[in-house]
Structures are given as C-alpha cells and as structure tokens.
Chain A
C-alpha cells in the first residue's frame, strides 16, 4: 500500500492492516511525518498544526511494535489493538522528553519531568507520538489565533480559523497528519474545532478521563478527549484513555469498555432523541439549520423518536461559564511566576521578587490570558465572590437540573455544534465577545459534566463543514457514541463517502522553520 493511501485510512483500519502486516508501523509513522513535512508549513504559511515533532521517539516506538508483532507469541497477542497507530497530542498535555508549552511564551522550552496519565496510557499501548499540536494559549480561545507561536489554519480554507482552542489537533487529523489526536475541552475546545474541520471530537463525561498532567485552564470544566475522523475511531481512543486514576480526585470509578462497540451499533430504532429548542433557530446560520433539520429527518426515517425539549436555563449557561472560567483561570495561572520553572524576566538588576513575577507574567502571557486573569481576579475579589462566582455556580445547578429533567424523557439531546461555520482569520480577535458567543451550544455540557460528541453534519456556508452535537447523561458516553455512529452512517450513506474525504487537498509545500 502506498504511503498516501495508508494515511487516509481510519485509525481502526490502520490497526487492522498493521495486524495483517500489510504495512509496518514504521512505514505508517514515516508516511505521516513525510506528509506533515509536505503540507504542515509554518506559522507564516500552511496549516501549522504542529508545534513540535517527536520523530525519533515515535519511530522507536513504531519499530518496537513491529518487532513484537513480527516475533509473534504472547507479546504480540498482548499488544493493544491500536498499538503502532500514530497519535498527536495537544500541547497543554504534559509529556516528558519533549517540550510542553501550552502555546505560551511563559513555558517556551519547558520540559516536564513527568508524563500526564493519558500520555502514560498512550505510551503503555505503544502508539507512536507524532508531536505536540498547536492551540490557543493555555486553551483560552476559540480560533487557535491566540497561540504565542502563530495561528493554525483550517485545512478546508487556509484563510479561515480551524476553531479553538484545539485547532492544531483537529487540523492535524482533518488533513491526514495524524489519524488520532488528544484534545482538551473546557467549553467546546474539542467539539468546535471538530465541527469546523469536518472531523469527530468528544468531550467525555467529567471524570471519565484523568486530568492529571493536563495544564489546568478551568479545573471544574476541563476534560481530555479524543479527536478523530470517525466516531468509531474516537470511541476506540476514548476507551484507551478513560478509566479511574488515583492521581485525579475527580476521576470516576466507572468502566468504559462499551464505547467502541456502541459506536458501531448502527441501530437507532426506538432511540429517543431530544431537540433542544434553545440551541437552534435564531443565531444559527441558515445552512447550518438546514443541515441540522435534514439530519433530524434521517434519524426519524431510521426509526428514532425525535421530540422537542425545553431547557429554560440554558441561556444563562454562557454568562455563568464566563464567570467560572476566568475565576478558575486567575487561580490556575498563579503558579506561572518564573521561580520554579519557565522563563523569568528581570526588569532591573535589583528588582524584587514581586517586580520579577509581575514582569515575567506580563511578558509571558498573551492578551486573552491577561484578560481572563484580570476578570477572574475581579470576580473572586472581596465583595464579589458570591455575586459572581457564587451565582454562576448556582446557575450551574439549574443547568444540571434542566438536563436531568430532559434526560427523564430522552436518551440523547441533539443540536448543531456551533451557530456558524469557521470564521475568517482575524475576525474574532478584534471582537472577544463574539468569540464567547460561538460556544453557546458546547458550554452547557461542560457545566453539567455530561458527554457530548460532535460529528460532521454536512457542508454549510462558504463551502465549510458544520457539526452536529449529541449529548447524553453523565457516564452514558456509550449512548452518545451509539447515536453519533448511527447518524454518521446514515449521513455517509447519503453522501456516498465520509465528509472528511471531501476536503480540498492541502498542497502547501512551505517547509522552512519548524523546530523539531
């Protein structure tokens, strides 16, 4: 099989071919690096999904998998089904032996002395790690334009943003620079980029995947999740990274071994699907609404029971989110002070520690991070904590109650993932408030801790993809995968091929300038 064909397979297909020894993991991994070098480009031109490539280590892991498989016997049989399938990792997930920057200047060159739990799981399962992907600085943003190392561009249109914060992981997967990637989702950072790049992304139930080693943005909302081209691939990666971790006190003791099979069930007969009244119509673009309505019809035709659901407090989710997030951000960002790690800025020779910290943080953080720190400091400071943070936490309860009531009557809730398609680069940076409004459909799941999968729903304005989001009750991630997989199959039958195969071929040959 030629390298160009290999990289276009799904992750599960790659796993199958590796198992059949159609090609080796070294061949597959090299094919990805070749493709990355060919199209990823730099901050100035190209997609620029990667901040750092991990070639030597990835090829060593691939060679080990090939050797074990060739030797046969118990060791070969014990290999994880995804062993040898390459993966990319968002740069806010710490990795030993390669830099972790969270796309911030303040962490430029930082080497973590430890691996995140998910990275440890990926290493144990022997997936070659291709590299670290670009993102908005500390995951604060919706376009990946707030990276300190330059924007990532959308493979469907290099003039447009790939979404954010996980634009690097979504673009890498969408443009065949990785079959799988890890993302993190605090208010839509996995799902919104998936929607904008025609890929699949899941925000798991809060506590399904360990946060140990995820550089915290808003701890009570953050969740690591899978990024892939198909629902089945996403579910398989979710199973790999999920599970109880004693190092994360918010980690759930729950089994997550039915996700991959659920994604391939196909049968939607009798599934009760709720349509969130608050998350459609006004504010949602015309073509996104059309694609969404068409998807609902497909679901009805397939025997699903589609009903309207009212969640009256949903409109408060956005303001509550934008109080909880900066509050926790202002706290989580406090440790970046240039004392124990990271870069230090000394304004004058005899500066005090206080002056050094303030200068270090001023130089190390970008605009959006500073904005959130100041807003959060305000929201938590004397006299305001109950008014702001307290009220927001109570609204969180109301949103949870809305969902709980809804799930008494339906198995899943469905909505478009975003109100619009990917915006042109530069448009949102000039208007932060519009950026926040873009997350209206994805934020409630984070507030409530429930799982949500975004799958491609078709083409909308400007010949850009749109996404459909399926939300399920907490710990019922399998149910979300079942409906997502079922709908994905119906749509692919209708289109004749998966949406990701309709993306224009990226041909950027810009090769200069990457640090690897």
Chain B
C-alpha cells in the first residue's frame, strides 16, 4: 500500500461525485495518508483462513411475502424534490448514457 497520489485522489472524487477544491484536495491527501497508515495494520495478521463477517449477528433467509402494501401519494413522493414537472422529478441534462440495466 502506498500513499494516494494526487491523480488517484481526483479520480476518487470523480467516482464519488464530489467536487473538491484544490485546497480540499491538498488537505484530504495529507489526512488520508495518515489514516491509511493507521488502518493498514489490518494486514499485519494472516487472515486467509478466517471467514469474513458481513453481519454481526448471523441471520439468513429473511423474506417478505409478496403482498402489496401502502405506497406514497405522488404528491408525497415529489414533496421534497428540488424540481418537479408533470408528476416527475426534473433532472438536469444527462449527456452521457450510462444506465446499466
């Protein structure tokens, strides 16, 4: 593990859709290096044979019956939106097609 480069940081900010100022990039870069030095201790112990725990309390097969329950009124759904039009959420122009499914 190495320090995060400036280029990497810019890429991360882009992935996270977060506009960082030059000043923020400088500061975060220093802070992250410090934090990474702390957290890289996780690799000190050999953990290959140890299973990963994603949930603190192991449950499985938690399902919901396929029964329709209440929905939001259209007005409720749209109430908190910054902009709406014709019962829909108004979204600024999308230039690049990117949906996956």
Contacts and interface: CB of A to CB of B under 8 A. Distances in A.
Contact of B42 (A373, A395, A448): A395
Contact of B28 (A249, A320, A371): A371
Given A330-B16, A388-B42, A338 B53 contact: no
Interface string B20-44: 1100100010011011101111111
A371 B32 contact: yes
A436 B36 CA distance: 13
Interface string A399-437: 010000000000000000000000000000000110010
Nearest to B15: A377
Contacts of A506: none
A341 B20 contact: no
B57 A396 contact: no
B68 interface: no
Contacts of B17: 334, 337, 354, 357-358, 361
Which residue, A323, A341, A378, A448, has most C-beta atoms of chain B within 10 A? A378
A339 B85 CA distance: 13
A489 B36 CA distance: 44
Interface string A154-195: 000000000000000000000000000000000000000000
Nearest to B41: A319
Interface in B57-97: 57, 59, 62, 64, 72, 76-77, 79-83, 89, 91-96
Contact of A387 (B43, B50, B55): B43
Contacts of A127: none
Interface residues of A, number: 72
Nearest to A391: B42
B25 to A, nearest CB: 10
Contacts of B35: 322, 371, 375, 432-433, 436
Contacts of B50: 394-395, 397-398
A449 interface: yes
Contact of A350 (B28, B80, B93): B93
Interface string A34-61: 0000000000000000000000000000
A250 B45 contact: no
A428 B35 CA distance: 15
A338 B18 contact: no
A171 to B, nearest CB: 28
Nearest to B83: A344
A343 interface: yes
B15 A388 contact: no
Contact of B12 (A206, A340, A374, A387): A374
A246 B59 CA distance: 13
Nearest to B29: A374
- Among A111, A350, A351, A371, max chain B CB count under 10 A is at A371
A340 B92 contact: no
Contacts of A474: 56-57
Interface residues of B, number: 56
B100 interface: no
A390 B44 CA distance: 13
A353 interface: yes
A102 B83 CA distance: 22
B61 to A, nearest CB: 10
A250 B57 contact: yes
Main secondary structure of the interface of A (DSSP, over half): helix
A220 B77 CA distance: 28
Contacts of B16: 330, 334, 361, 373-374, 377
B19 A362 contact: yes
A375 B30 CA distance: 12
B38 A340 contact: no
B99 interface: no
Interface in A337-391: 337-344, 346, 350-359, 361-362, 365, 370-371, 373-375, 377-378, 381, 387-388, 390-391
A205 B56 CA distance: 9
A103 interface: no
B100 to A, nearest CB: 15
B18 A374 contact: yes
Nearest to B93: A352
A481 B60 CA distance: 28
B19 A359 contact: yes
B39 A322 contact: yes
B62 to A, nearest CB: 4
Interface in A289-334: 313, 316, 318-320, 322-323, 330, 334
A16 to B, nearest CB: 35
Contact of A249 (B51, B62, B92): B62
A342 B41 CA distance: 38
Contacts of B18: 358, 361-362, 365, 370, 373-374
B53 A397 contact: yes
7 closest A-B pairs (Cβ-Cβ)? A449-B56, A393-B52, A344-B82, A341-B80, A362-B19, A394-B47, A396-B53
Interface of A: 110-111, 113, 205-207, 220-221, 246, 249-250, 252, 313, 316, 318-320, 322-323, 330, 334, 337-344, 346, 350-359, 361-362, 365, 370-371, 373-375, 377-378, 381, 387-388, 390-398, 400, 432-433, 436, 446-450, 474
12 contacts: A110-B80, A111-B79, A113-B76, A316-B45, A334-B17, A339-B81, A340-B81, A352-B94, A353-B94, A388-B39, A398-B47, A450-B56
Given A342-B80, A370-B24, 14 more contacts: A206-B56, A249-B62, A252-B59, A316-B45, A342-B82, A354-B96, A358-B18, A362-B19, A370-B28, A371-B28, A378-B4, A394-B53, A433-B35, A449-B57
